[in-house]
Chains A and B, each alone.
Chain A
């Protein structure tokens, strides 16, 4: 009986682990792939953020937010995020496989 109970629990442990990784994308990050894709061969796509240096992403976002970097739309979007949210997004993208 002990054995079968263990077998029953395992899939749910795995499911929980899968769910936890889902939560890793920090606030706001999941919208970015609408324009910034990591898929190959997409015409006129903007640069992928995955695997970029966290400092590079964070500095760009902060500059967009402060109006210190020329932009079309990113200046309007960056203003919607706190510095802490920007740091969290930058760190997360840096950890993703490009």
Chain B
């Protein structure tokens, strides 16, 4: 306990609330001062009671930051601390536009001032340990954070060992650009530097992966860039799958917009990449070795590292959760949100992460008040762009069934195959609207 003092159990006002940390400089509390604090909190409504429940959130993306703000809105008496390494968040949705030169990375970046202004305490450093027994998160500085409920929303991590030859160093040569930021700009610069007539390779992993249609949106927008700027070039998508999200919609768009410029090689046709060689810029599959001028490797994924450290992942590398509360099926009082979870057939998307965050905030507000959470329904909507003015979408409504989430039958599905261009343009506009709204709700 370096920067915080602990209230001893004897001075705690009730038996049910666990020991918690106090800000540095807080005096050791006597029973009387605790009582005075409780009195003050009942008189001054905005004041936070000394014995307010503590919720710690690890990860400040659409799930984590969205959750933190939603919980403050629903249960303002709660002390919410958001632990996030970076002071700037770089959003993945629309980062394919940055790669294709349609948008600057700065349009993807958001800060946490408004989150903090809602009363969320920001801790800008990595969490390095979680002890579910003592309900403590330890930050890199050694600062412990005690919690009544912990929410882990770390997004994805890469399962480097699943793709021999690919590691951090290789990603500087063959970028993944599957965490938005430096990698996004690196891939863009490589495309800009490529001479006309070059070949772009993309390696796409099997599901589960972050943003299942995102790889095909990327292929589309890279093709758009090539068609516009480097018309003798082409892109080859090497896929570890035989089927993919919105496949017919994408393939129809490719045929219409980029004839001969996109080639998709499925699992059955040898598209699965088993290893890579950064030195020779090669991707090695079952039958063939592929060489390209620019190579984008999207590696196999799993839940973010802190989820592994916290011990809330299962053999799949992802986090199983209760469908009503998103509480981990492995560790009590720990909830997991967003891309790190496996929530039925729900795709790993920013919208889904945000929607889960709202449900989890309502559930935790109920749990902290000793009430029973309601059975939720979740909506997911994902837009993808086959060209800047050509939007398509997949939507779904999900509900808890038994121990899992299932899609409500008869609802959801993809944009129609035969829609006119006006509909595609409208969906492209709505995609921008969704991005602006989601980022506004989360960070604005």
Using CB atoms and an 8 Å cutoff, list the residues of chain A in contact with chain B.
4, 7-8, 10-12, 14-23, 25, 27-28, 30-37, 39, 42-46, 72-73, 76-81, 85
Question: In the complex, what residues of B have CB within 8 A of residue A39's CB?
Answer: 437, 440-441, 444
Assign chain B's interface to a size class.
35 or more
A4–B35 contact, CB under 8 A?
A: yes
Contacts A16-B371, A39-B444 supplied; 16 other A-B pairs, CB < 8 Å: A15-B52, A15-B368, A16-B370, A23-B373, A27-B374, A31-B355, A34-B351, A37-B437, A42-B436, A42-B440, A43-B432, A72-B430, A76-B395, A76-B411, A77-B411, A77-B412
| Least CB distance, A59 to chain B, in whole angstroms | 19
B441–A28 contact, CB under 8 A?
A: no
Report the separation of the CA atoms of residues A61 and B262 in the bound assembly, to the nearest whole angstrom.
39
Report the separation of the CA atoms of residues A12 and B371 in the bound assembly, to the nearest whole angstrom.
12
Report the separation of the CA atoms of residues A68 and B437 in the bound assembly, to the nearest whole angstrom.
27
Using CB atoms and an 8 Å cutoff, list the residues of chain B in contact with chain A.
13-14, 35, 38-39, 41-42, 49, 51-53, 70, 74-77, 351, 354-355, 358-359, 361-362, 365-366, 368-371, 373-381, 393, 395-397, 408, 410-413, 415, 423, 426-427, 429-430, 432-434, 436-438, 440-441, 444
A36–B42 contact, CB under 8 A?
A: no
B430–A35 contact, CB under 8 A?
A: yes
Question: In the complex, what residues of A have CB within 8 A of residue B13's CB?
Answer: 8
B371–A10 contact, CB under 8 A?
A: no
Q: Which of the residues B369, B375, B411 comes within 8 Å of A20, measured between beta carbons?
A: B369
A30–B371 contact, CB under 8 A?
A: no
Q: Which of the residues A17, A35, A76 comes within 8 Å of B433, measured between beta carbons?
A: A35
Top 5 A-B residue pairs of the complex, sorted by shortest distance between their CB atoms: A19-B369, A80-B397, A80-B411, A22-B365, A44-B433
A18–B76 contact, CB under 8 A?
A: yes
Report the separation of the CA atoms of residues A34 and B42 in the bound assembly, to the nearest whole angstrom.
34
A19–B368 contact, CB under 8 A?
A: yes
Q: Which of the residues A7, A17, A27, A81 comes within 8 Å of B35, measured between beta carbons?
A: A7
